[in-house]
Structure 1
Amino acid sequence: MARFAVELVFGPDNEKRLAVRPAHREYLASLVEKGVLLVSGPYADDTGALIIYEAADEAAVKEIIAADPYTPAGVVEWRIREWNVLMGSWL
């Protein structure tokens, strides 16, 4: 399994994003239960968020993102980067 740092950049329609956020967070909670989502949270300046996923490959992460309620709502931009963890408690 590989780890992926996924950055969400919030779009300009804050009202729509906030309306979808409860469903987005429910979806993320289901991924925590499955061991797919390791950590997530918004930036302090509320311009976006960071999510760390564990998945087989980038294609699997893209499937996870496609199922996130934020995707069909079009309220965020997704940036995916495979991440090689060298140190820390996740090893």
Structure 2
Amino acid sequence: MSVFAVEYVYAAGSDATRDEHRPKHREFLAGLGANGDGLALVASGPYVDGSGALLLISSPTQAALAETLANDPFAIHGAIAVLRITEWSPVTGELAHHA
């Protein structure tokens, strides 16, 4: 299992779309792994400046994660302009046990 840092850069002018779909987006994130696919949300949250968000997600593969994230309501409704997925190794600190 690997941990991935996922960066969402929000689409310009998507504030209303995100507001509308935020409850389903959060429900989607909270449900990661519920179907036995091996995914698990480690942490997530928006950038304070409103430009995007950072998600830390445990997943068996990057491909599986990318496929799953395509079903995020924010992605479905065009609120994400850029999606970047990078494998990450938490070596020290409170998240190190995820490595």
TM above 0.5, yes or no, is: yes
Task: Tell me if structure 2 keeps the 8 A contact 1:42–1:49.
Answer: yes
Give 1:70 shift.
1.1
**2:32 alignment counterpart:** 31
Matched, 1:51 2:55: yes
Write the letter of the residue equivalent to 1:47: S
- What do residues 34-54 of structure 1 show as CA deviations (whole Å, max 9, x unaligned)? 761000001111111100000
Give 1:31 shift.
2.1
Identity across the alignment (%): 40
Structure 1: runs of 5+ lacking an equivalent: none
* Structure in which a larger fraction of residues adopt helix: 1
Give 1:32 shift.
7.3
Q: 1:78 aligns with which of 83, 87, 91?
A: 83
Write the letter of the residue equivalent to 1:17: R
> TM-score, normalised on structure 1?
0.89
Distance 1:36 1:63 in 2: 14
RMSD: 1.7
Aligned residues: 91
Task: Tell me if structure 2 keeps the 8 A contact 1:32–1:38.
Answer: no
Distance 2:10 2:94 in 1: 29
Distance of aligned partners of 1:37 and 1:51 in 2 relative to their CA distance in 1, 3 Å threshold: same
Task: Tell me if structure 2 keeps the 8 A contact 1:2–1:57.
Answer: yes
